[in-house]
Amino acid sequence: MRYQPLPADVYRRNRRKFMERMKPASLAVFNSNDIYPISADSTLPFQQHRDIFYLTGADQEETILLLFPDAPDPKHREVLFIRETNDHIKIWEGEKLTKEQARALTGIDTVYWTSEFERVLRDLMRHADRIYLNTNEHPRASHEVETREDRFIKWVKQAFPAHKTERSQPILHRLRAVKEPEEIAQIKRACDITGAGFRRVLEVLRPGMYEYEVEAEFAREFLRRGSRGFAYTPIIASGPNANILHYIQNDRKIGEGELVLIDVGAEYGNWSSDLTRTVPASGKFTPRQKEVYNAVLRVKNKAAKLLKPGITIPEYHKKVGEYMTEELLRLGLLTEEEVKNQDPDKPAYKKYFMHGTSHHLGLDTHDYGIPEEPIQAGMVFTVEPGIYIPEEGFGIRLEDDYVVQPEGEPLNLMAHIPIEADEIEAIMQEARAKEGK
């Protein structure tokens, strides 16, 4: 394991919070992800299902968690099932968790092999009235691939048709949205790794490089600092590519005088960071580029101050739209008449800023949360406004990650990462000066 796992007590607290919200005489089951095939004998690197990881810290395939607060036998109130190691697995894959290691990692005393799961479940279901099933209810979820969780849900409904079912997701969306201090520390570690990668890129970025060469510099720094790599597919968008919001080809040659929009984040221990910076390939912004850049930065800084307990995401986005409208008027991209006659359902600013300003951040880059409910202290959000001007050949987005505080302004986990235009220029110019000596 290349990252430092959180103490078992964190996962005990997470499980306790979940079980406190379960209905009486009910149990809940959570499955790990599959190892997904590519073709022939090739597979993608394993990524643990974030829900079971949140509740256990177990980062291994074929793992199952069973929670049953009202189990007649106390030892079955928390049960972990893990894959049993054999000599073949030891030789070809390395050893898996032992039962003793699993207990120490998760804080769960009762650990069985995964092969025993069906027998144990059938026995415990005799004492339960209902079962909590963990469907994927994220608003952006894709359901094209059947997961291990999906297969279990099909099976359990057939095997126990008389039992009532409940949904785990409404509970998890509330719990995972508010982070424990130890969880925030993991996100901060991911942010620090991302910052190191960005400083490296500021030193080496030159016109004539390919976008994928910039991506490679980030990968180098991430891996050497204990990250498994990118928290999401990186965006390295030079020149007009910055106006493609989810541009991921990263194969264009960077031109002289162009801006490069960089949207990347390291993961650390399955926790995500999410950074965006837009930098001048030649080391210096043009006056127009800097004018637009500073407008985006002002919106970001003002938007972040809104992230306080009590405000809802829709209210927040409405206010940020007002900030952006002011800046677009100042830049001459909108007119007073356009604003006056705008459709309330499609504000004029959306022509140049067409995406949302913030999303929850955590174990998933677009993490769990309920947007209709007020923001709470302990939630972590990105703040990422942008202005995209295809007719001028560039787009600018800036993004930092913030923790909502009980009082006052949110804590910027990326405050140490350069963002002011003058500071970025100074770092890039200093690197060029050293290179010329």
In this predicted structure, the answer to whether residue 91 has a pLDDT above a threshold of 90 is no
Ramachandran angles phi, psi of 229, nearest 5° = 135, -150
Displacement of CA 296 from its chain's centroid (Å):
23
Given the residues 384, 400, 401, 425, the one annotated as active site:
384
Q: Is residue 258 part of a domain?
A: yes
Q: What is the per-residue pLDDT for 329?
A: 98
Given the residues 83, 103, 225, 366, the one annotated as active site:
366
Across the range 233-255, mean pLDDT stands at 98
- 185 and 160 belong to one structural domain: no
Given the residues 176, 252, 277, 359, the one annotated as active site:
359
- Residue 342 in tokens: 């705008």
Q: Is residue 231 part of a domain?
A: yes
In this predicted structure, the answer to whether residue 422 has a pLDDT above a threshold of 70 is yes
Q: Which residues contact 257 (CB under 8 A, 6 or more apart)?
A: 207, 280, 281, 282, 286
Interhelix angle 99-106/8-20, rounded to 10 degrees, is 70
DSSP 8-state secondary structure symbol assigned to residue 135: -
Q: Of the candidates 177, 205, 237, which is a domain's last residue?
A: 177
pLDDT band at 260 (very low <50, low <70, confident <90, very high): very high
- 206 and 235 belong to one structural domain: yes
- 347 and 273 belong to one structural domain: yes
Q: Of the candidates 177, 208, 227, which is a domain's last residue?
A: 177
Q: Is residue 55 part of a domain?
A: yes
Q: Is residue 1 part of a domain?
A: no
Q: Is 246 one of the annotated active-site residues of the chain?
A: yes
- 314 and 357 belong to one structural domain: yes
Are 381 and 272 a contacting pair, CB within 8 Å? no
In this predicted structure, the answer to whether residue 437 has a pLDDT above a threshold of 70 is no
Q: Is 352 one of the annotated active-site residues of the chain?
A: no
- 173 and 190 belong to one structural domain: no
- What's the CATH code of the domain at 280? 3.90.230.10
Given the residues 258, 263, 327, 401, the one annotated as active site:
263
Q: What is the per-residue pLDDT for 232?
A: 98
Given the residues 397, 400, 402, 425, the one annotated as active site:
397
- 227 and 108 belong to one structural domain: no
- Residue 143 in tokens: 């359901």
Alpha-carbon span 403 to 114, nearest angstrom: 38
Q: What is the per-residue pLDDT for 92?
A: 78
- 74 and 139 belong to one structural domain: yes
Please compute, for residue 280, the number of CA atoms within 13 A of its CA located in the half-sphere on the CB side. Answer: 22
| Chain segment 5-49, per-residue pLDDT in tens | 999 999 999 999 999 999 999 999 999 999 999 999 899 999 999
Q: Which amino acid appears at position 231 of this protein?
A: A
Q: Is residue 340 part of a domain?
A: yes
Q: What is the per-residue pLDDT for 195?
A: 98
Are 226 and 311 a contacting pair, CB within 8 Å? no
Mean pLDDT of the chain: 96
- 100 and 165 belong to one structural domain: yes
pTM: 0.96
Are 128 and 165 a contacting pair, CB within 8 Å? no
Given the residues 119, 151, 330, 355, the one annotated as active site:
355
Q: Which of 120, 148, 186 lies closest to 61 in space, CA to CA? A: 148
Q: Is 138 one of the annotated active-site residues of the chain?
A: no
Q: Is residue 2 part of a domain?
A: no
- 138 and 22 belong to one structural domain: yes
Given the residues 140, 246, 345, 391, the one annotated as active site:
246
| Count of Cβ atoms closer than 10 Å to residue 317 Cβ | 15
Q: Of the candidates 177, 195, 230, which is a domain's last residue?
A: 177
- 193 and 166 belong to one structural domain: no
Q: Which of 132, 126, 102 lies closest to 114 in space, CA to CA? A: 102
- 277 and 251 belong to one structural domain: yes
Q: Is residue 36 part of a domain?
A: yes
User: To the nearest 5 percent, what fractions of the chain are helix, strand and coil?
Assistant: 40, 20, 40
Residue matched to tokens 């919200």: 21
| Count of Cβ atoms closer than 10 Å to residue 407 Cβ | 7
Q: What is the per-residue pLDDT for 85?
A: 81
Q: Is 59 one of the annotated active-site residues of the chain?
A: no
Alpha-carbon span 399 to 276, nearest angstrom: 5
| Chain segment 367-396, per-residue pLDDT in tens | 999 989 999 999 999 999 999 999 999 999
- Percent of the chain past pLDDT 70, that is, above it, reads 100
Displacement of CA 400 from its chain's centroid (Å):
13
Given the residues 183, 217, 221, 274, the one annotated as active site:
274
Alpha-carbon span 216 to 228, nearest angstrom: 14
Alpha-carbon span 306 to 304, nearest angstrom: 5
Which conformational region is residue 270 in: left (phi greater than 0), alpha (psi within -120 to 50 degrees), or beta? Answer: left
Q: Is 274 one of the annotated active-site residues of the chain?
A: yes
Q: Is 360 one of the annotated active-site residues of the chain?
A: no
Across the range 267-284, mean pLDDT stands at 98
Given the residues 388, 400, 401, 425, the one annotated as active site:
388
Q: How many domains does the chain have?
A: 2
- 415 and 280 belong to one structural domain: yes
Q: Is 263 one of the annotated active-site residues of the chain?
A: yes
Angle of CA points 388, 393, 399, to nearest 5°: 35
Q: Which residues contact 110 (CB under 8 A, 6 or more apart)?
A: 75, 76, 78, 79, 80
Given the residues 78, 217, 399, 401, the one annotated as active site:
399
Q: Is 41 one of the annotated active-site residues of the chain?
A: yes
Range of the domain at 15: 8-177
- What's the CATH code of the domain at 51? 3.40.350.10
- Residue 353 in tokens: 């800023």
Q: Is residue 29 part of a domain?
A: yes
Q: What is the per-residue pLDDT for 144?
A: 86
Alpha-carbon span 72 to 153, nearest angstrom: 24
Alpha-carbon span 307 to 309, nearest angstrom: 7
